[in-house]
Amino acid sequence: MPRVKLTDAAVQRIKPPTREARQVDYWDQHLGSFGLRVSYNGTKAWVVQPRALSKGKWTPTRVTLGRYPALSLADARQKAKDALRLASEGKNPRDALKADKARLEDESRNTFDVLADDFLAKYVKRKGLEAKTLREYERTLKGADVAAWRDKPISSIGKRDVHDLLDTIVDRGSPIAANRTLAYLRRFFNWCVERDVISAAPTDRVKQPSKDNRRERVLSNAEIPEVWAAFEAETGLFGPLFKLLLLTGQRRDEVSGARWDEFRSLEGDNPVWEIPGERTKNDLRHIVPLVPQAVEILKAVTRVEDSPFVFTTTGETYVSGLSKPKERVDTFIAERRTKAGISEAIPHWTLHDLRRTVSTRMHEDLGIQPHIVEAVLNHISGHKAGVAGNYNRALYLTEKRRALEAWANHIDKLLGRLPQTNIVELRPAVGATSE
């Protein structure tokens, strides 16, 4: 058992022993219990041999720290010092190494992606959360924003990683989406803490990156023709999709995910769109009467063979990623204003604001009664909320059709397509205003 001054150069120079000798231990001159075991087949392994307490006696205990060169000399020497310290405290260093190994194995299993799957199956789906919330959890935990986290041990994801992720989302112009991402991540990481997978959540004490203001944006009657013209200029599927958002007042996911089998009597006198409960926010089946303008748009959409979806490019899924076509719409409006000599930009608006515009204009410009507007939008509030809602299951199909016809004709009037005498309007409510 030779003693040598173990250096990187010395370790590299050491040759394997003969087959007869099988293996030789080279002990470090500086740290006596630390050494390098060299086998005849060329394997080199770091070892330490402290006196450890076992069954009431201090006995020499050989511990293998790792192989060279995977484990460097500096790291091996530090591990040896740690083992000697543990042994001096009456602890068995072998147990500590086994615990470290088990921890590493556990971390390799507990990646962000694996735990995200567990969370979706054991928490989100078991909770029976609504379909939209499930989609938001899946978008947050399985989407492109967290792609770099997927194979990382969840214990290695820190607060800095969370802040970097939120900053990226804010920088691309989606501050509210960043707030929601934080909320979903916080619930996920807290669940991991509850399951004792991690000791602390990296989302703890992370503040919302943006102020969650209540949105009030409504397109004015002067802005609606501008927006509609931009929809007209948007070729492909997105122009018709955006028009239907404004004509029907339905939610973005409901329109973009529309299926051909949801539409009835497109060639008849009373066409309707029947959205099943699994696709609505309140899980209730919703019937939307279709006005001629909406039917015309649907008939003009090129149908992808064997696909159930109205708005699809692949045939397998409905379109997503509406931010880029929305940007093109905004660019069209800005360029058109510039050509007209208008320096003021249109105030910021979102696709969801189209739904709020339908509601507001129906109330204020057309005098449609609030409960009919709620029925059009499939809102469960006001007269249909709580106990009253258990008894009030009226579909108001006739009233909804009249309201949507009035709204579509109001748009046509703003676009200059209808003379005043042909407009279908309901009697304005008291105190109603118009622009």
pLDDT bracket for residue 430 (50, 70, 90)? very low
286 located within any domain: yes
Question: Given this model, what pLDDT does residue 421 score?
Answer: 45
pLDDT band at 388 (very low <50, low <70, confident <90, very high): very low
Q: Is residue 434 part of a domain?
A: no
Give domain status of residue 259, yes or no.
Answer: yes
Residue 179 has pLDDT above 80, yes or no: yes
Are residues 334 and 417 part of one domain?
yes
The answer to whether residues 364 and 407 touch, using CB atoms and an 8 Å cutoff, is no
Q: How many CA atoms lie within 13 A of 220 on its CB side?
A: 6
Looking at residue 380, its pLDDT comes to: 66
Q: Is residue 212 part of a domain?
A: no
Instruction: Decide: 142 and 189 in contact? Cβ < 8 Å.
Output: no
Cis peptide before 289 (omega within 30 of 0): no
**Residues 119, 46 share a domain:** no
Please check the confidence at residue 185 and state whether its pLDDT lies above 90.
yes
In a domain, 327, yes or no: yes
- Above pLDDT 70, what percent of the chain? 88
pLDDT in the model for residue 248: 97
pTM for the predicted model, two decimal places: 0.53
* Judgement on whether residues 291 and 340 belong to the same structural domain of the protein: yes
Terminal-residue alpha carbon distance, the chain: 97
Is residue 199 situated within a structural domain?
A: no
pLDDT, residue 68, reads 94
pLDDT at 156 over 60: yes
Q: Per-residue confidence at 385, pLDDT binned at 50, 70, 90?
A: very low
- Within 252-346, residue ranges assigned H as helices are 252-256, 292-300, 323-339
Residue with the larger pLDDT of the pair 189 and 105: 189
Q: Decide if pLDDT at 52 tops 50.
A: yes
Lowest mean pLDDT among 106-110, 272-276, 369-373, 423-427: 423-427
Residues 275 and 242 in one domain: yes
Look at residues 38, 73, 101 and tell me which one is the last residue of a structural domain: 101
Last residue of a domain, one of 44, 66, 101: 101
**Quick check: 391 pLDDT over 50?**
no
What is the per-residue pLDDT for 419? 60
Q: If you average pLDDT over residues 288-306, what whole number do you get?
A: 96
- Across the range 241-255, mean pLDDT stands at 97
Mean pLDDT, residues 412-420 taken together: 83
The reply to whether 93 and 139 lie within a common domain is no
Specify the pLDDT at position 320: 86
Q: Are 263 and 386 contained in the same domain?
A: yes
Contacts of 371 (CB under 8 A, 6+ apart): 382, 383, 384, 396
Boundary (domain end) residue, out of 49, 73, 101: 101
The answer to whether 333 and 232 are in contact (CB under 8 A) is: no
Q: What is the mean pLDDT of residues 129-157?
A: 88
Tell which wins on pLDDT, 380 or 79: 79
Longest dimension (CA), the chain: 110
pLDDT of amino acid 164: 94
Is residue 433 one of the residues assigned to a domain? no
Q: Where in the sequence is the domain holding 119, given as residue range(s)?
A: 112-194
At residue 434 the predicted structure's pLDDT band, cuts being 50, 70 and 90, is very low
What's 383's domain CATH number? 1.10.443.10
Q: Is residue 312 located within the same domain as residue 248?
A: yes
Number of domains comprising the chain = 3
Mean pLDDT within 19-44: 91
The stretch 337-355 carries a mean pLDDT of 93
Give pLDDT, residue 78: 92
CA distances from 192 to 95, 186, 217, 270 (A): 26, 10, 38, 52
268 and 314 both lie in a single domain: yes
Residue 171: CATH number of its domain: 1.10.150
Given pLDDT bands bounded at 50, 70 and 90, which one contains residue 109?
confident
What pLDDT, on a 0 to 100 scale, did the predictor assign at position 105? 55
Domain membership of residue 61 (yes or no) is yes
What integer pLDDT is reported at residue 108 of this predicted model? 61
Is residue 270 located within the same domain as residue 397?
yes
41: domain CATH number is 3.30.160.390
Q: Does 264 lie in the same domain as 117?
A: no
Render pLDDT for 192-204 as a digit per residue (tens, 0 to 9).
999 998 999 999 9
Give the mean model confidence (pLDDT) for residues 100-124. Answer: 79
Q: What is the rounded average pLDDT for all residues in the chain?
A: 87
Q: Are residues 16 and 139 in the same domain?
A: no
Domain co-membership, 190 together with 149: yes
The answer to whether 336 touches 342, Cβ cutoff 8 Å, is no
